[in-house]
Structure 1
Amino acid sequence: MNALVLDVTTALRHAGIAGVTREPTVAESYVPELRVRIDAGSGRHATYPAVVRLGRLDTRLATALDLPTVRPLLLLAPHISDAVGEVLRARGVDYADAAGNTRLAWDGLLIDVRGRPPRTSVPPRIADRTAARAFSRAGSMVTFALLSWTDLPSRPVREIAATCGVAVGTVHGVLHDLAAAGYLSDGAQGRALNRGGELLGRWAEAYTVTLARRLAIASFGIADLDRIPALEADLLGVGAQLGGELAASRLDAHLHPSTSTFYVDELPSTLVARYRLRPDEAGVVRFRSRFWHRPDDTGERVPSPLIYADLVSSGDPRQREHAERIRAVDDRLVELDRT
């Protein structure tokens, strides 16, 4: 991290910033990693809470990043492409990278530098090793289930494994790492989540990288969009559940979905044929794999943490805004934020 901060500081000075100074900050959850004072000369200066992200960023990860809510906020990274910069600007986040791409905006000052290629090859995303097993591909399935059902953390390990469709050993590893990181505690009623909102944010970011794309079964176009409500009714009738924007629109009336995502155990070939759906990677009808098994999970929507994660992993800042809206009103997400 120190090397990256030095590289970004050098790039800012080359861009004409008179001075960049690091200030100490308190190492706590949801608190930015450092504070950076930027002196633009002529008495113009600002102090930013700042976070550092090592490794490669794309638009999906930039949308999903679990960033502090404080604004202004400065993101430092090895390289920020124009597309990633657009996402960050939409999220109200200023940024600077080691190549000199910069967005700094405060009263009386705007620095906006784009299009510079990386100075060196950017390594893949570097994961936070805290509670690492909870955010691997299989571990993310376990963490999803623990976030989704209040009673599950206290249930026997074999029951948790059966719910997630993973090995018992995987569950043991996830529970150990979550407890060591302070996300899980033992009490009179058994295991319970701590800092659930923080865990949700970290899980949604990891889900974007490790799991989201692997759940895709197929996408289809439909000739007549007016038939989607009928398709939805038929899919619900055979046990499908709504996900993504479609599910979120039932929680937030301001959201008008542009895609229809359905979680299924297998592709409903009969309905695909009946509605004459045509394969299309960019199609509006999307089927995703339901990897969990919970007998009492019979609602029309997938669990709220997954709706939230699908929105923040979309790469669309508009969907990110809606994710935060449903986080403020959905009972389970509110409960997690209060733990």
Structure 2
Amino acid sequence: MNKGVVKMDFSEEKILETALKVVKSNIAGAKVCKPVLASFAGRKGQKALTIEIRLDSVKLKYRVEIKAAVTKSDKMLLAMTNKETGLPVMLMTQYVNPEMAEELKQIGLEFIDSAGNMFINQPPVFVFIKGNKLKEPVRCAIKRAFKKAGLKLIFALLTTPGLENTTYREIAVAAGVSLGSIDYIMAELKEMGYLRRRVDNSLYLEQKDDLVRRWVMAYPEQLRPKLTLGTFRGPEKWWLHGRLPSQDTMWSGEVAAHKMTDYLHPETVTIYCRPQKLNGLLLSNRLSRDPVGNIEILEKFWNNDEKSASGELVHPLLVYADLIASGDPRNAEAAEKIYEQHILQLVR
């Protein structure tokens, strides 16, 4: 594998292959050039998969994003990416239902799915097809690296410089995963091109910008739902002077973004807490359980204690991921600020 190239898995290749066939069969005279890796004017000038669609004398060039299914957090993150790369993003996926098709059209995110639905809007070319049903879905196996244990491990690697060169036991403790899972996940990261070896035999993370993107996309589906300790309600604006009883209790999401940027007015409160510290947190802040409350408390899943200088905020990567996971457009600008101010230095 060439340096800087992230390998696609079989399901991604099938989605890409089908999408390209869909273009040719639904748009008379359309030609699609072979997808290539090319530099783009993104956050780091890294390489990304690009395609070119030709219609007579018109050439449409896109940065490709492949997703088995599209979630609200994917939609938000891709819409943000669409403004940054210098190339419009073309989402290729298995199926976009009519409601999602309208939402993607509204935010200007172009897409092609395996069922023949598509949105292309590059004047003078405009194509919008929705309502086609998917006949034969591709079975998309999720790699271990982007399941629960893998996401914990990737978070630890991204937020703890040099962790990849410690022992597997130290990595397991920092990530909060079993020792037995480390070898499999590290092997997958190497296979996908994210973990590479130097001439002196030491390891380093490659294409960290892309790894962050994939982690942020997978986190809301594969790890975050398993961390929920409950939803609660408290006194109005209690978070302004809220008491966090220990270093095992930290702000994230909108409250953390407000404290980091002084930009966002929080409507939802997100806290990470060890389960054994939950009762103390509830009592000291007069919080009560409420299934529709605006306070979400999740289990603190890491042990490396890489956090903000204040000690009360989770790592900026997790703040960013929680803002994206909300799918709330209100949070997009705050997420962009956090990326530019804190995460860019992480992926360099």
Flag whether TM exceeds 0.5 (same fold). yes
Match of 1:268 in 2: 278
The match for 2:122 among 106, 117, 142 is 106
Match status 1:149 vs 2:160: yes
Q: Secondary structure at the match of 2:37?
A: coil
Shift of 1:316: 2.8
Match status 1:138 vs 2:155: no
Return the alpha-carbon distance in structure 2 between the equivalents of residues 76 and 295 of structure 1: 37
Return the alpha-carbon distance in structure 1 between the equivalents of residues 185 and 332 of structure 2: 27
Match of 2:8 in 1: none
Q: Secondary structure at the match of 2:259?
A: coil
Shift of 1:198: 1.7
What is the percent sequence identity of the aligned residues?
27
CA RMSD of the aligned region, Å?
A: 3.2
Q: Is the 8 A contact 1:71 1:92 kept in 2?
A: no
The match for 1:118 among 114, 133, 138 is 133
Return the alpha-carbon distance in structure 2 between the equivalents of residues 255 and 88 of structure 1: 25
Return the alpha-carbon distance in structure 1 between the equivalents of residues 55 and 331 of structure 2: 32
Distance 1:296 1:328, change over 3 A: closer
Shift of 1:189: 9.3
Q: Secondary structure at the match of 1:75?
A: strand
Match of 2:36 in 1: 26
Shift of 1:144: 0.5
Q: Is the 8 A contact 2:307 2:313 kept in 1?
A: no
Q: Secondary structure at the match of 1:24?
A: coil
Match of 2:18 in 1: 3
TM-score (normalizing by structure 2):
0.78
Shift of 1:98: 4.3
Q: Is the 8 A contact 1:134 1:140 kept in 2?
A: yes
Runs of 5+ unmatched residues, structure 1 = none
The match for 1:57 among 66, 70, 75 is 70
Shift of 1:147: 0.3
Higher alpha-carbon deviation: 267-276 or 257-266: 267-276
Return the alpha-carbon distance in structure 2 between the equivalents of residues 337 and 160 of structure 1: 20
Match of 1:337 in 2: 347
Match status 1:226 vs 2:241: no
Shift of 1:148: 0.6
Shift of 1:61: 3.5
1:279 partner letter: R
Match of 1:328 in 2: 340
Return the alpha-carbon distance in structure 2 between the equivalents of residues 274 and 250 of structure 1: 21
Return the alpha-carbon distance in structure 1 between the equivalents of residues 291 and 137 of structure 2: 28
Return the alpha-carbon distance in structure 1 between the equivalents of residues 106 and 155 of structure 2: 27
Match status 1:209 vs 2:218: no
The match for 1:240 among 249, 269, 275 is 249
Shift of 1:296: 6.6
Return the alpha-carbon distance in structure 1 between the equivalents of residues 32 and 195 of structure 2: 34
Report the count of equivalent residues: 319
Return the alpha-carbon distance in structure 2 between the equivalents of residues 79 and 177 of structure 1: 27
